[in-house]
Chains A and B, each alone.
Chain A
């Protein structure tokens, strides 16, 4: 359909120019969704996941390059994945100057496209000429968003002019959305794991301190309150953590009698 002797119509969607020998767009898109769904269930590596997303986007949308930026806890964006070194440099440029399709998509929570970057100097006075210099002529950026939270942006950039058609826009946004869900889910799971570790550590520390009180009570013939005071005083005067002293008492690395001796001079 694409006659090489004529300039391509910029409004004709990518799909129609696909080589028949490669898997159909629909197949690749479906496969991408399945892969991502599977990734989210198993061990999840954010960097690996986003690199895959960038690569897939290049294939699916016939993009020259793709890149993803994620915001950190304070809302500052960072480059999370790029399909090439050149793309990474361009993304860093966007961040450095706080200007470009990714910052716009992130801030507005809306997709941003430009059909010909040679005409975009008014919108992106620094980014547009830099992108053109790097050989790119059109761009589509999508917010990575779940309800009210936008966590970053996905950027597709091409060496030719043009924009994505409705179907491709929807598919790209859907991929961005699925990536967002995967990342937020992973973050929540990590937080759960961390909080559980903290809780168990605190509970286990209490257990060993109670056990140590019992050992001290038996060895030094003290009641429980006095045993605790003895442990605590020893810890303070020797500048050690109570839980560490308790562990040593319980594990018999420190004899209870040592608790009564004065601290080193």
Chain B
């Protein structure tokens, strides 16, 4: 699929992102705003994949796409997850009445949050998959060929930007542009540590336990984690 964004338009978009000389702390928000503007969608978010099960959000254009990304982190399924795993765009034009049954637990809460259609595009640089761009429409509908090609081109731009940020960062340090998203997820890892010490299990098992509890209770992982860290919630040693 050849991108339809003209080279000079893509250059203009890139120039807008660079105009503050350095890639500023709000780069995630600006990238999302650019995606919304170029694609004409309701909202956009960028998920950074760290490993198979850890991700953080680089930016969101509105709270709804924020919920979409939190749901995916909680459930481990969704358009971003699939986009990263397959390396292909993932398209769901009618989340309330999907033709393909997938993503258990995701559609209901996402539709409730205001998602009519949702699409995920892998963010890659060369052969490496860094994460995904997710965009949504507030009512059912498909993206046309122009939007699809533009989304792929934007995902490429996001990948280049992420690596450019890393290139400007001392090795070993989290780039400060990602600090906010890393900090947002910190409570989950703290809770995993606490739970692993409480139940004498590995941190991986502890995270899985937190996720399972969140899914069963219909809560987001971050909220459950916060309750664990605040010691208002203790998970039982045996899953129910």
Contacts and interface: CB of A to CB of B under 8 A. Distances in A.
A214 B191 contact: yes
Contacts of B194: 214-215, 217-218
Interface in B184-221: 186, 189-198, 203
Contact of B178 (A188, A193, A203): A203
Contacts of B143: none
Interface in A116-135: none
Interface string A195-220: 11011111111111011111111110
Contact of A196 (B56, B130, B195, B197): B130
Interface in A190-248: 191-193, 195-196, 198-208, 210-219, 224
A224 B186 CA distance: 11
A202 B172 contact: yes
Contact of A211 (B48, B166, B193, B198): B193
Most buried by B among A195, A205, A208, A219: A195
A202 B167 contact: no
A227 B94 CA distance: 47
Given A210-B186, A214-B192, A204 B171 contact: no
Contacts of B162: 199
Nearest to B193: A214
A63 to B, nearest CB: 34
A189 interface: yes
Given A196-B125, A200-B50, A207-B189, A214 B196 contact: yes
A118 to B, nearest CB: 49
B192 to A, nearest CB: 6
Contacts of B2: none
A183 interface: no
B174 A203 contact: yes
A218 to B, nearest CB: 4
A157 interface: no
Interface in A141-157: none
Given A189-B126, A213-B190, A206 B163 contact: no
Contacts of B198: 218
Contact of B167 (A195, A201, A219): A195
Contacts of B163: 191-192, 195-196, 199
A250 interface: yes
A184 to B, nearest CB: 12
Contacts of A193: 126-128
A217 B182 CA distance: 20
Contact of B190 (A192, A203, A205, A217): A217
Contacts of A217: 190, 193-194, 229
Contacts of A208: 189
Given A199-B162, A199-B166, A202-B172, A219 B126 contact: no
B238 interface: no
Contacts of A201: 171-172
Contact of A212 (B182, B193, B195): B193
The 9 A-B pairs of least Cβ separation, nearest first, read A214-B193, A210-B189, A218-B197, A211-B193, A214-B190, A214-B194, A192-B126, A215-B193, A189-B126
B173 interface: yes
Contacts of A250: 193, 196, 203
A221 to B, nearest CB: 10
Interface string A57-68: 000000000000
Interface in B116-174: 125-128, 130, 162-163, 166-167, 169, 171-174
